[in-house]
Structure 1
């Protein structure tokens, strides 16, 4: 098996469980409009879709009655002020990142979360201090599933794309990595409603445990 020299990760649903803070932001906006809030088990599978996906979920057919941009700004403002109240690392992530650091394997983050929010969130976790690059959804003109963000991240890490692993929990993550000729890994612990669909994403590997990723490096 090929030994890879760098690892890139999605953020929400891959490294961090951010669903409850994102859901709180959604419910804040819904309550401000006098609408019913959304239960955790309903919004969690949609958390990777960010403000747009969550607002579409919460408002449903009534979304057209409101100014979407105003809703989005209210959502993001609330989320920014409450960005790491409930957010935590997934089990195994701390050990995985520590192992990569010990092996001198560079790693970074490529997310569709707006860069300014990612730059606020990531420093909240000391386990991320060795992160070599952080690419947000608006860092470049293109965002995942376009390959440009992951290619840019690999370049910043001075790692050839074919020597990189990209780990994510959504089809757009795997498409982005595949289009960049990276080794793609599905983080099945993330926000995946129907885990049986993962086999259709054309990833190289499906993992249940973050530490399994080390098998392609050590």
Structure 2
């Protein structure tokens, strides 16, 4: 971890799944729907939660295990499409904001600090999901995994969000729960923060991700922001 001195951010950008919204159960149950169709054993919450940020392919790799490589690309794409169709149909059955996220957003709004979302989630799912959560309505920009040719860990989506918001990336914070989030934030020369309340389980410990800060809960982020309330 490489801590930097903080000043009031010009903007704060967030990952979505595992950072703002706890989507693991809806994603995992969509995987289980596909596995049931294939007459394969379903996965428990404890098994699928750690990979919820890794998208449909990550979930399928979990569900199929060593058999994943036996499927050719068209077959895997077909399974991915089936998983995403099930997920879209039940996109916010269990999903909710992580504890403290709404208070954090309220603090940003009260200080007139613009904030936005940069996720690798496909746009058609991002746009549908956020409509179920009015607390996210004040987001100034929503960049999805297919909004641009590049996606995280490439820094381009973060830099594009800053350009659209007319803010300097060097004065922005980026908060995410995956190593690719921290890599993208660092490559964009932002203050990078691990949302350690999310799906941060990874072969590499979060302490080695080179983040500037590791936040254990969203309330800690709110506390960092409140010090700038009167500046």
Corresponding position: 1:11 with 2:19: no
- Residue 131 of structure 1 corresponds to which residue in structure 2? 139
Q: CA RMSD in A?
A: 1.4
SS of residue in 2 equivalent to 1:109: strand
The CA distance in 1 between the partners of 2:147 and 2:20, in whole Å, is: 19
| Structure 1 residue ranges without an equivalent (≥5) | none
The alignment covers a number of residue pairs equal to 218
TM-score norm. by structure 2 comes to 0.91
Seen in structure 2, the aligned counterparts of structure 1 residues 101 and 50 have a Cα distance that, compared at 3 Å, is: same
| Structure 2 residue ranges without an equivalent (≥5) | 1-5
SS of residue in 2 equivalent to 1:189: coil
The CA distance in 2 between the partners of 1:83 and 1:14, in whole Å, is: 17
Seen in structure 2, the aligned counterparts of structure 1 residues 122 and 188 have a Cα distance that, compared at 3 Å, is: same
Corresponding position: 1:98 with 2:106: yes
Measured against aligned partners, the alpha-carbon deviations of 1:15-55 in whole angstroms (never above 9, x if no partner) come to: 00000000011000000011110011000000000101000
Pick which of 7-16 and 191-200 moved more: 191-200
Pick which of 154-163 and 164-173 moved more: 154-163
User: How many Å apart are 1:78 and its aligned residue?
Assistant: 0.4
Map 1:31-180 to 2 at 5 A.
Answer: 31-66=36-71, 67-180=75-188
Note if contact 1:188-1:195 (Cα within 8 Å) is conserved in structure 2. Answer: no
